[in-house]
Amino acid sequence: MLWSLLKILVFVAIIALLALGAGFLMETTGGVQITVAGTEYTLGPLQSVIGFLVLVGAVWLFFKLLTLLIATLKFLNGDETALSRYFDRGREKRGYQALADGLMALASGEGRVAMSKAAKAEKLLQKPELTNLLVAQAAEMTGDTKKASETYKKLIGDNATRFVGVRGVLKQKLSEGDDDTALKLAEKALAIKPRHAETQDILLGLQTKSQDWTGARSTLTAKLKSGSLPRDVYKRRDAVLALSEAKDILSDTNSVEAQERAIEANKLSPDLVPAAAMAARAYIGKGKPKNAARLLKKAWDAQPHPDLAHAFAEVAPNESAAERVKRFAVLAKSHPQHMETRLVMSELNVVAEDFPEARRALGDLVERDDVDARTYTLMAAIERGEGASDAVVQGWLAKALAAPRGPQWVCDNCNEILPEWVPVCPNCGSFDTLTWKSSSSAEVTTATGAHMLPLIVGSIEDKSQSVEEEVVEADQEEVIEVAAEDATAEEQPRPS
């Protein structure tokens, strides 16, 4: 009510002011003179105001008509109108259909069709962030690596597709074998997406291949934090990397730091045989043989292994053969029936010339299905030591020539057999894939095959070598003849 009264009062006041103004203009003398084409027009004050208002209205009307004219021209031209939007929708529909067809062709392995559809989609959609990836992958499929590389570089220029572009170029460099460039690209890709599991694996593989153990440990930690690597696997691989650092330092004759790295590797993964052996040697180098012996016993409890026996022998290098047998007897108590334990004790007793005890240590190994050349060679040494005939010795040696080599370091990825443990397989480049096991593939000389009695060092070494040479060289020609007969006779039983 009050507001309505207020509006009425305002309206009355405005009318009053206008009337007052009109009366003032009517009483005012003078006016405005306008000359048009030689004719002079004189307007009074009120006429002048009315003329001014008419002029303002005419100008406003002119601009409105001009805007209408421009809109009409745009409509005829097809810009941002219902008609143009209709045609745009049709073009986008065809473009997305071409994009979908290109993706289907790419998945079907039809590279040329995919390229054609990608070009059509790029022309219709005008959205390179959608079509460039299809173009790049189709170009790769058709073998046009140059176009693929150019397209991936276009993707790198856009923040939204930068990772995809870097990853595409990375894949190309890997296929070309350019590991140095691939390593830099992998680091850049991981910086863009730190939790990308595939990039982490690629970078880790390149770092281990280039022996960048420090960088590899950093990448491994990133994999653990991102949740793509179980903690137990992380501990194992981190130990392998620490051990690899230690091996590199040893090659540089930096013994103090190497010792620390080796001990660290063993603490990270106590069941890693190479780490235990190297850590033991590090303790020996520090003058702590008791620590080395304790560490090796713990590792032997987890898995008896020739490398551990080698290191355990180095704890007391100057002991006699009998003292060594006695000391190793303590180590053998944890796994007395394990094949490696029995072979080690048999070797040591052969060195000590206690051949009956060496035979007892072997037990029934020669009768087992998994008997290897090392067992047959030991039997030949035992028979020679006990004074058996040459024919008996030759029979055992002939069996050793045809027998498997026994457990060795074998790559789980490519089945390559290696004479010693390494962190990266030199054949396939895979990381931490070496396992101590028997292999049915082509075999190589190993510490357990060609080098009989591997625990012999110092003064004992000379003695053992003479025993072995006597066994092997006594009837070399006859052994070769026996082996030749075995090779030519099909389905004949082996000589006993």
Count of other CB atoms within 10 angstroms of residue 439: 19
Nearest Cα to Cα of residue 261 among 423, 411, 417: 423
Each as own residue / partner, the long-range contacts of residues 79-85 (CB below 8 Å, 24 or more positions apart, any chain) are: none
Count of other CB atoms within 10 angstroms of residue 325: 21
Q: Does residue 75 register a pLDDT over 70? A: no
Q: What's the rounded Cα separation, in Å, for the pair 133 and 48?
A: 70
Decide: 446 and 419 in contact? Cβ < 8 Å. yes
Q: Which residues does 391 contact at the CB level (< 8 Å), separation at least 6?
A: none
Decide: 286 and 253 in contact? Cβ < 8 Å. no
Strand-by-strand arrangement of the 434-437 sheet: 417-418, 408-411, 434-437
Encode pLDDT of 124-154 as tens digits: 888 777 788 888 888 888 888 888 888 888 8
The model carries a pTM of 0.59
Q: Does residue 485 register a pLDDT over 80? A: no
What 3-state DSSP class applies to 409? Answer: strand
Report residue 236's pLDDT band, with 50, 70 and 90 as the boundaries: confident
Q: Does residue 476 register a pLDDT over 70? A: no
Q: What's the rounded Cα separation, in Å, for the pair 7 and 109?
A: 79
CA 306 to chain centre: 31
| Distance, first Cα to last Cα, the chain | 128
Write the DSSP string, 317-361: TT--HHHHHHHHHHHHTSSTTSHHHHHHHHHHHHHTT-HHHHHHH
By CB atoms closer than 10 A (0-12, 13-18, 19+), residue 241 is buried
Pairing of strands 408-411, 39-43: unpaired
Element housing 437 (H / E): strand 434-437
Nearest Cα to Cα of residue 365 among 396, 334, 393: 396
Count of other CB atoms within 10 angstroms of residue 33: 9
Q: What's the rounded Cα separation, in Å, for the pair 136 and 152?
A: 6
Write the DSSP string, 67-123: HHHHHHHHHHHTSSSHHHHHHHHHHHHHHHHHHHHHHHHHHTT-HHHHHHHHHHHHH
Count of other CB atoms within 10 angstroms of residue 109: 9
Encode pLDDT of 157-186 as tens digits: 888 888 989 999 999 999 888 989 999 999
Decide: 377 and 409 in contact? Cβ < 8 Å. no
Encode pLDDT of 395-442 as tens digits: 898 888 888 888 888 998 888 888 888 888 888 888 888 888 887 654
Taking all residues of the chain, what is their mean pLDDT, rounded to a whole number? Answer: 79
Q: What's the rounded Cα separation, in Å, for the pair 241 and 219?
A: 11
∠ CA 466-471-472, rounded to 5°:
100
Q: What's the rounded Cα separation, in Å, for the pair 277 and 305?
A: 10
Query: What letter represents residue 293's amino acid?
Result: A
Decide: 43 and 51 in contact? Cβ < 8 Å. yes
Q: What's the rounded Cα separation, in Å, for the pair 380 and 393?
A: 5
Encode pLDDT of 355-364 as tens digits: 999 999 998 8
Pairing of strands 434-437, 39-43: unpaired
Average pLDDT over residues 316-329: 91
